[in-house]
A and B are shown apart, each in its own frame.
Chain A
Amino acid sequence: MVEELLIKNGVVYDPINGVKGEKKDICIRDGKIVEEVKNPKVIDAEGRVVMPGGVDIHAHIAGGKVNSGRLFRPEDGRKGIEPKTKVCRAQSGYSVPNTFATGYRYARMGYTFVMEPAMPPIAARHTHEELIDTPILDNAALPLIDNNWMTMEYVKSGDIDLLAAYIAWMIKATKGYGVKIVNPGGTEAWAWAKNCELNDAVPYFDVTPAEIVKSLAEANERFEMPHSIHVHGNMLGHPGNYVVTMKTFDLVKGTKPYRDRPVLHGTHTQFHSYGGTTWGDFESQAKAIAEYINSNEHASIDIGSVILGDTTTMTADGPMEYSLYQITGRKWTNHDVELETGTGITPFLYSGKVSVHTIQWAIGQELALLIKDPWKVALTTDHPNAGPFIGYPILISMLMNKRRRDESAEEMHSAIFDRAELPSIDREYDFYEIAIITRAMAAKTLGLAEHGKGHLGVGADGDVAIYDITPEERDDAGKIQKAFLNAKYTIKGGEIVVKDGEVVAAPQGKTFFVTPECDEKLMDEMMAKLKDTFEHYYSVSFANYPVQDAYVPNPYEIRAPWRS
């Protein structure tokens, strides 16, 4: 490992520190950004674009359902096969790449952190095992907490403090990072072959999704949690769901965040911005969602933009996957995770010849372009649901180049011209805004900036991406796409991991996890009920449940004190 590194002559975009395309030297010593170095190895960036390592706020890269996707899609495994090299292990897969390919491909795009956003708590070990096997990337995972029986019982009794004690225990037990919500109540209702809208009662538990979201937001803010609740709302993928989306965001408007950040992160909002009443009159309502985000400060989103082509959809939203399977008739699998959550998986092909897919394709980009403040938006594809992460460079080139968008629209279904906004939007992102939506916003929203991610200030992790493009070449969409697919250099913790688009080193990443610190009396009270639940309903014993330290070989703990 190089102890000191100096990156000279780069044009630096570091939004968290307000650096907006300045020629600036970056010094790294022992893996961290420092003021100056004495005897460094020098990289001459020669006027190229330099950004902090990319931070992905939401991509399904590890765990049970990702692996089920790999197992039941051997035809996906055929794509992207690359034999092992001196540095890399063998790679396979496109929409569900193996863990090694995931790490290498992200690193080649200049990314150094990915959030796995859906960890079924009882299967947390599987998620961590795969994260261990995902090279280079720092990572974290969000446990699914909303369709959980304990959660719903506390929501029903209205005891937010005890709910807070429960989520504290759950996040600690799973070595998780925060609270993930997926179709609140709906996944549980699916066990009764039903689904839930925002104000429907969940069968047996008699609470509504709205109550679940609101209670979890309040419980989350009982601690100094780095991240807000991370919400995949109800009715994902249904025409007309944009109303539900805004109502969901409205639920937490009055909740006070512990610090300056949103209280709700609405994820893959493309899937939640649909107008119309059926697939026949399906249309974009990205404008309404964007206006909502523009006029409110309590919610952030990531776009979940579509990449055309074949992919594998996977979510804890079991009923949604079943609806999708009914549309395509392709293979489908479904899983109930005891008293915690569920899963569904089915392959999907997004085609530019199909009106609905074309409008979906437009919506993701519309959200990014219509929301004025890029600090409220992260670039994602909800990998692999709207498309694989390897499509990010395509999206970046679209957002930066109206002509490219127009040329694409011409080749797609004409519905894009009457039922979407995209062709009428002139805005083009610049490199600074791209740096926000691909790293700075995610690092800030996840509360990782103060832990060294997503920026290049002194003390930050030495994670740097140097792209083979200069600011003067910003109008060349093809070059942008190429540059963001294969970085000139990716530096991770001061070590060069990618050079000229090739992986040259594959160190192990860190796992960030949060330890919420709960009032002991509350914890004891909650524990009595929890142990009883384990005894009666769980297939594993209470003592065997928590993920032991061995599953996080490279830990980074963030403490979240109780707010008195």
Chain B
Amino acid sequence: MQQISLKLKEEVMKGVAKIPIVVDSLTPDKLFGKSESEIKAEKVWWGNRQENTGDLFEVEVDGEAGSASEVKIVLDGDLSRVKYIGAGMTAGEIEANGDVDMHCGAMMRGGKITVHGNADCWAGREMHGGELLIEGDAGANLCAMYRGEITGMTGGKVVVEGDAGECVGQYMAGGEILIKGNVDILAGLNMKGGRITIEGNAVMPGADMTGGEIIVKGKVEDMIPSFRFVEVSTLDGAQYRKYSGDLAMTEKQAKGLLYVRA
């Protein structure tokens, strides 16, 4: 195993306007096999400028790795404006100690990201595989498609221990999402496949869904009227009202399932 520690220097986030940093170049795939000095020379965008990683982060490398999957990157410091953490990664591990900015784990295909804090919007966007654990809350568009696209998350597993924002899993086509808290409006909007489990409450889940399933263990507020009640069914020993929909997408396409705790 190899651990690459990247601690964001305090002075970088000192200004009145905290200028965001884009770190999609700092994944286990891209840093594997690089020496400390090579990592320091790796380019990251800081606002509209490209900077050396070593100028923004304190870099420490510990141990050896035989492949990208043996690389673990630990991010420390004020990460609240650090975007695209682990974006596109296929292997290895990233641990972020603190709240992170948008697009964490976007388009990831493998490996694991753990966020010890909150993640801003678009976490797990268009994710195809791997694991994303957010110990705090997630912002809007978790695991959704990006603007205009018609496919969101297609694979992998995401766990949010806190709450999640609007439009969780929009256009989701595969994979699993578990939210331990509540979600804001329109979870599973346009959903085509996969599963979203919400342990707390949800508002208008499943609008325009044509496939996949949504399980709400708490209460549903403003249930979409175009869902049809099917039966009361039992999941893990508890009783749920099972609905199919969304019939607004025509009878033929309404292949989605929504379970609400009875």
Contacts and interface: CB of A to CB of B under 8 A. Distances in A.
B149 interface: yes
Interface string B162-187: 00000000000000000000000000
A253 interface: no
A73 B150 contact: no
B146 A78 contact: yes
Nearest to A78: B146
Interface in A52-84: 72-78
Nearest to B250: A329
Contacts of B149: 75
A47 B146 CA distance: 48
Interface string B8-37: 000000000000000000000000000000
A76 B148 contact: yes
What class of interface size applies to chain A in its complex with B? under 10
Q: Is the interface of B mostly helix, strand, loop or mixed?
A: loop
A78 B150 CA distance: 14
B147 A74 contact: yes
Interface string A492-522: 0000000000000000000000000000000
Contacts of B150: 330
B43 to A, nearest CB: 12
A76 B147 CA distance: 10
B235 to A, nearest CB: 32
A74 B149 CA distance: 8
Query: Size band of the B side of the interface?
Result: under 10
Interface in A73-131: 73-78
Contacts of A78: 146
A74 B145 CA distance: 12
A131 B204 CA distance: 45
Nearest to B45: A83
Contacts of A74: 146-148
A75 B171 CA distance: 14
Looking at A73, A75, A77, A78, the one whose CB has the most chain B CB atoms below 10 A away is A75
Interface string A385-428: 00000000000000000000000000000000000000000000
Q: Which of B146, B147, B148, B149 has the most CB of A within 10 A?
A: B148
A312 to B, nearest CB: 11
B161 to A, nearest CB: 31
Interface string B132-170: 000000000000001111100000000000000000000
A415 to B, nearest CB: 26
Contacts of B148: 72-77
A394 to B, nearest CB: 25
A311 to B, nearest CB: 14
Nearest to A330: B150
B83 to A, nearest CB: 16
A117 B183 CA distance: 49
A181 to B, nearest CB: 32
Interface in B77-102: none
A451 to B, nearest CB: 41
A95 to B, nearest CB: 12
Nearest to B150: A330
A75 B148 CA distance: 5
Contacts of A76: 148
Contacts of A77: 148
A73 B147 CA distance: 8
A77 B147 CA distance: 10
A78 B106 CA distance: 14
Contacts of B146: 74-75, 78
Interface of B: 146-150
Q: Which 7 A-B pairs have the closest CB atoms?
A: A75-B148, A74-B148, A74-B147, A75-B149, A73-B148, A75-B146, A78-B146
13 contacts: A72-B148, A73-B148, A74-B146, A74-B147, A74-B148, A75-B146, A75-B147, A75-B148, A75-B149, A76-B148, A77-B148, A78-B146, A330-B150
Interface of A: 72-78, 330
Given A72-B148, A75-B146, 11 more contacts: A73-B148, A74-B146, A74-B147, A74-B148, A75-B147, A75-B148, A75-B149, A76-B148, A77-B148, A78-B146, A330-B150
